[in-house]
A and B are shown apart, each in its own frame.
Chain A
């Protein structure tokens, strides 16, 4: 219903003789509810829409966002931005965009079970069933939501891309208290597609398993060993490691310094393509085209066709993540990594679905050569510095490994290490590839986008555990 305004904005950009212009109309149809301690705290729906307009003028970049669908208002704001861009010309970076193929496409991610065909009552019932399995927890926060994102993208080069990507999301915080101790776990699940994913998640069982893991830890966990030791981490931990210490430092706008003010830079330099960064068994990809994924898209927010990006190949740095601006700056083609949170944000370089390629070990085989080690199945706290060099992961459900077997739960093992140490110390990779979900934050102003963080279990040899 708003396309005429997007078409108008593009025509107006052409009239203003910009060197390049693009218009991104985004609509979101959302529904969600929160169950707190067994009570429906709030529920609601939203239908939002707006237009993001980006243009290049004398090699300076202008951006307009507006949710007021009036032609006068669109004109006025574009004119204002053009004036400001001209005024800032003396201080402006000479921005250029890489030459890319122009596409006219339409695509859609299917909902096998449509959100609208499942009543709110059934969704509430599901959350109650989920909650009733963990009634003893002192804090239960469960949130279930859906979003259908529709985009209509146009450029002065002739691109015209229409898309519809639905997503479902489940977020939880679970807090347990036991004998004066308490434990907590929070995380999220997300897929693109329809309600069929919610059914597949089997939330009552999923949350019960989470509860039991925390409870077991509180009841039985002993002190974790410290010092140099072998560590096996599960797919959830591998996923966050890949995201934080491969995906982020491979973003070309960090490497170039464009995002240095807040999101930070990268310990990787642009001349490091081809350098070893890990064991040669390490292969990391980022793939937006993965069906049903949280970070799914087929054309990015600059209209570039998405493809699988091989970030690390056989242990070597293979390629960075690029949008058209960084691709031009580094003399390559964009690999379709431009994403914006919504119409009111500019598209910057982002991950989509980043994962470590699986190997051929079973988890048991990963354990069997370890005399003394720790298995970290999932994690609670984590962080990494803004150059993506030194990082920390605190285990949640974790076990001692002795003579190749899991023995007893251990309390919060802490893995604190650098990126080169991490990827060089991996000596075996499991075949149990799993995808987990995160909302990745970056940019100034901050933008959060859904992404898969994936991988199989891995064995990390001889690293210091705190």
Chain B
């Protein structure tokens, strides 16, 4: 705390418009495994002070890593020592030398000045989660996959203990504290026979590595002897892993920053129909047990649940205070001081379970995971992505085999318009291509375009 207060005092002496200082500390452990064996054991202790300063509408960001002692945390009394003050004085001098050369951003409208009564995130920090027996958890996950027939497993276990303090020039200060457990397991039988599932939680009671291992192993087992797919139009059931990168792009596109930069397919779509009535999704900064949940955003606005798409209608963009003032709306509590960001993307559940969804399909594919989602044009939403791990061909309401070497070549708005239904059970996860966590059921989308390579 002392470090932040000292730095803020120095910045205020220079008559800044705004400043936000963020201290973060991350104590982590990792176990990476390949072919059922641990290949790396990692330990991490990282700290940082993020600095956002605005003077005469000129915006600068920088950081300060090299502090001695436990700067920023009030509950650790080791204190803030003289060398820190000297290094900060030097940093402040450089900030203002740098700012002299910067141009103003005339459409900058300041940071939050309201005081909120924050509510702690439910189940956001679990001390038991930090102290798990890492090797035991990895072992349990691998064994669960073996029971389903997996021959090889690869993956990672991560344990994070994260703490942060934010102090703004409007005298708003708050602490966040979060535990995070992440387990990713990919099971193989033969080379083209694989399954993948993750477990993600702040709360040890909800961290089920065995379930992740089981699903991963089952998917690998069911994907035996895959055949090459054929091009054409298919109804696709996207599993939670498979839809997560697409939901991430939807979340990013909802940020007003993306809209202004020409990188959003929601540009000009506010209050307009972008999807079928069967899709409702929102961003939830307060999601219980969400690893990305925070009581307040990066400038101290209390987070909340923001509906992005309601029954196919795009409701609102994500804003911080400055962009909200520019567009004469209310901040959605999604700062990102430069670019508003989603916290946890949640898709509203439907009524059907997976077997019932499969029964609905005459010609389709159940896709459990995707890989390498890339856009030809973010503004238009044109993209393609490659199903990986179990992908299952459906005919007349039944799975008749597994597939390989196919590609989904589509447009996001076209997918949204063709959402037929969402499943009745949601899974919370994050993946390699989906850094924002999602809570989503399976989603059935009609008439998707499948392409295949020249062979």
Q: Which residue of A lies closest to B31 (CB)?
A: A88
Chain B residues, Cβ within 8 Å of A390: 386, 405, 407, 452-453, 455
Q: Which residue of A lies closest to B377 (CB)?
A: A184
Task: Establish whether residues A39 and B107, one from each chain, have CB atoms under 8 Å apart when the complex forms.
Answer: yes
Task: Establish whether residues B261 and A383, one from each chain, have CB atoms under 8 Å apart when the complex forms.
Answer: no
Q: Mark interface residues in A438-466 (1 if CB within 8 Å of B CB, else 0).
A: 00000011100000000000000001101
Task: Determine whether A113 belongs to the interface, using a CB cutoff of 8 Å to chain B.
Answer: no
Task: Determine whether A163 belongs to the interface, using a CB cutoff of 8 Å to chain B.
Answer: no
Number of interface residues of A (CB under 8 A): 91
Task: Determine whether A60 belongs to the interface, using a CB cutoff of 8 Å to chain B.
Answer: yes
Task: Determine whether A14 belongs to the interface, using a CB cutoff of 8 Å to chain B.
Answer: no
List the one stretch of A148-156, A202-210, A260-268 in contact with chain B. Answer: A260-268
Task: Establish whether residues B62 and A385, one from each chain, have CB atoms under 8 Å apart when the complex forms.
Answer: no
Q: Tally of A-B residue pairs with Cβ under 8 A?
A: 272
Q: How far is the CA of A355 from the CA of B101 in the complex (A)?
A: 40
Chain A residues, Cβ within 8 Å of B98: 43-45, 120
Chain A CB within 10 Å, residue with most, of B48, B63, B453: B453
Interface size class of B (residues with CB under 8 A): 35 or more
Interface residues of B in 282-318 (CB under 8 A from A): none
Chain A residues, Cβ within 8 Å of B46: 50, 65-68, 344
Chain A residues, Cβ within 8 Å of B263: 139, 141, 173, 175
Task: Establish whether residues A381 and B384, one from each chain, have CB atoms under 8 Å apart when the complex forms.
Answer: yes
Q: How far is the CA of A433 from the CA of B255 in the complex (A)?
A: 40
Chain A proximity of B405: nearest CB distance (Å): 5
Task: Establish whether residues B65 and A49, one from each chain, have CB atoms under 8 Å apart when the complex forms.
Answer: yes
Chain A proximity of B258: nearest CB distance (Å): 9
Q: Mark interface residues in B179-190 (1 if CB within 8 Å of A CB, else 0).
A: 000001110100
Task: Determine whether A387 belongs to the interface, using a CB cutoff of 8 Å to chain B.
Answer: yes
Task: Establish whether residues A84 and B101, one from each chain, have CB atoms under 8 Å apart when the complex forms.
Answer: no
Q: Which residue of B lies closest to A325 (CB)?
A: B39
Q: How far is the CA of A46 from the CA of B61 in the complex (A)?
A: 8
Task: Determine whether B59 belongs to the interface, using a CB cutoff of 8 Å to chain A.
Answer: yes
Q: Which residue of B lies closest to A79 (CB)?
A: B43
Task: Determine whether B106 belongs to the interface, using a CB cutoff of 8 Å to chain A.
Answer: yes
Q: Which residue of B lies closest to A348 (CB)?
A: B40
Task: Establish whether residues A60 and B38, one from each chain, have CB atoms under 8 Å apart when the complex forms.
Answer: yes
Chain A residues, Cβ within 8 Å of B454: 416-418, 421, 463-464
Chain A residues, Cβ within 8 Å of B373: 383
Chain A proximity of B40: nearest CB distance (Å): 5
Q: Which of B32, B134, B260 contacts A444 (CB 8 A)?
A: B32
Chain A proximity of B353: nearest CB distance (Å): 29
Interface residues of A in 25-70 (CB under 8 A from B): 33, 36-37, 39-50, 60-70
Task: Establish whether residues A182 and B380, one from each chain, have CB atoms under 8 Å apart when the complex forms.
Answer: yes
Q: Which residue of A lies closest to B372 (CB)?
A: A383
Chain A residues, Cβ within 8 Å of B29: 84
Q: Which 3 A-B pairs have the closest CB atoms?
A: A139-B262, A175-B262, A381-B376
Q: For the A-B complex with A46-B62, A49-B65 known, give 17 more contacts whose Cβ atoms are closer than 8 Å.
A: A37-B260, A41-B59, A49-B66, A69-B68, A70-B68, A91-B135, A124-B101, A139-B260, A139-B262, A173-B261, A175-B261, A184-B378, A259-B154, A346-B40, A384-B386, A385-B388, A416-B453
